[in-house]
Structure 1
């Protein structure tokens, strides 16, 4: 029997809603379509008090940072709140610590700034929201910025571009972990266009005129 993987999805005030909700939906649907056998997903924050996301959405994290010392998959979303998180040593230390032992570390949008601030993107190619490429370059000068792709896979660390790209990255990760057919079934359930592996060479994802989209 396949061991369930644990996902830690970081939340913080002023987090971008789709940055966390998109990956949450993808991985939750994948798990649901497989009789809840694949994944255990936790939303994690400094405390379990409500987090006020972008535009005032109140979200209740289910576990606090110090109770979540390890996970197989870590998801770091973005949003304006990342700037405040960069100034929070406890959260930045948690990102470093939990990422060191995780199988996969994923960022969405400006969540890449937190990976950069934690020193996790040194000498790696990465992408982020187009508005914060310069900020990422300041935080991690050795990072090679990829400006024209939806997500960039470095093996352990996968970064994605702005907001909705987190859905594409998450579907790609489902395919990496559980196979192309599982990712397609998830995308079909969500009625979301899925970038097929034929249009996704070497794990570098982009949507363009030459990339097939599939609801198959």
Structure 2
């Protein structure tokens, strides 16, 4: 029997709704009705947050009371360009990643991983419209990879923009629970999984 893993989905002001909701639903649906993953949201503070689409969301946990994540999902959004300079947030990502099994960035969540000093020596990607910014903030020994849905460095998995995060999330499900579970999850969501990988 596979042990139940905690999946923390990070939220912050002006996060992209589909970035975090897509990944959240992949892990929740893949969980075999809660047996395999406990998926929840977390933010720096316990307060309502605005997405870039102008709907508000209330995180379940804050940094001080969050269950220890086995999987950390770091979504993107226009807010990532501001939050990458939030040392509290990037320090929490860095510390949390030390004990996490997998860290998954979606879209411009890559900027937060870069500022958390997690990308040295890795293949990295992000939304095509943020590639130049990622190149500015990522370590010089990174390999910037364009025109892919996601890259898998082992512990660090990174997706391109928005819906590519669903493909990368399914990749993580496949790594942890097997390809059959990932295929079944995509089928339940009526989503066509793009398995392109580097």
Q: Which TM-score band applies after superposition, normalised by the shorter structure?
A: over 0.9
In structure 2, the residue matched to 1:38 is 36
TM-score under structure 2 normalisation? 0.95
Judge conservation of contact 2:128–2:147 (CA < 8 Å) in 1.
no
Paired with 1:135 and 1:46, the residues of 2 have a C-alpha distance of 24
In 2, distance between residues paired with 1:2 and 1:134? 40
Distance in structure 2 (CA, Å) of the matches to 1:89 and 1:135:
18
Mapped contact 1:69–1:98 kept (Cα < 8 A): no
Q: 1:119 aligns with which of 111, 117, 120?
A: 117
Deviation at 1:142, TM superposition (A): 2.1
Confirm or deny: 8 A CA contact 1:49 1:61 kept in the other structure.
yes
Superposed, 1:31-110 pairs within 5 Å as 31=31, 34-68=32-66, 70-110=68-108
CA distance in 2 between partners of 1:35 and 1:75 (Å): 20
How does the TM-score come out when normalised to structure 1? 0.88
Alpha-carbon separation, structure 2, partners of 1:124 and 1:69: 28
| Inter-partner Cα distance in structure 2 for 1:88 and 1:148 | 29
Task: Give the CA deviation at 1:69.
Answer: 6.5
CA distance in 1, matches of 2:35, 2:53: 34
1:162 aligns with 2:161: yes
Segment of structure 1 superposing worse, 94-103 or 81-90: 81-90
Matched, 1:4 2:16: no
Structure 1 distance, partners of 2:39, 2:187, is 21
Aligned length: 197
2:134, 2:193 → 1: CA distance? 28
SS in 2 for 1:120: coil
Equivalent in the alignment of 1:178: 177
Contact persistence 2:80–2:109 (CA under 8 A): yes
1:141-168 per-residue CA deviation (whole Å, 9 max, x = no partner) reads: 2211110210000000000000110000
**Cross-structure match for 2:194:** 195
Match of 1:213 in 2: none
Contact 2:76-2:109 within 8 A present in 1 as well: yes
Task: Report what 1:207 is aligned to.
Answer: none
In the alignment, structure 1 segments of 5+ residues that lack a partner are 205-216
Instruction: Determine the C-alpha separation between the residues in 2 that align with 1:182 and 1:72.
Output: 19
Distance 1:190 1:109 in 2: 21
Structure 2 residues not aligned, in runs of 5+: none
CA RMSD in angstroms, aligned pairs only:
1.2
What SS does the aligned partner of 1:42 have? strand
Q: Which residue of 1 is the match for residue 145 of structure 2? A: 146
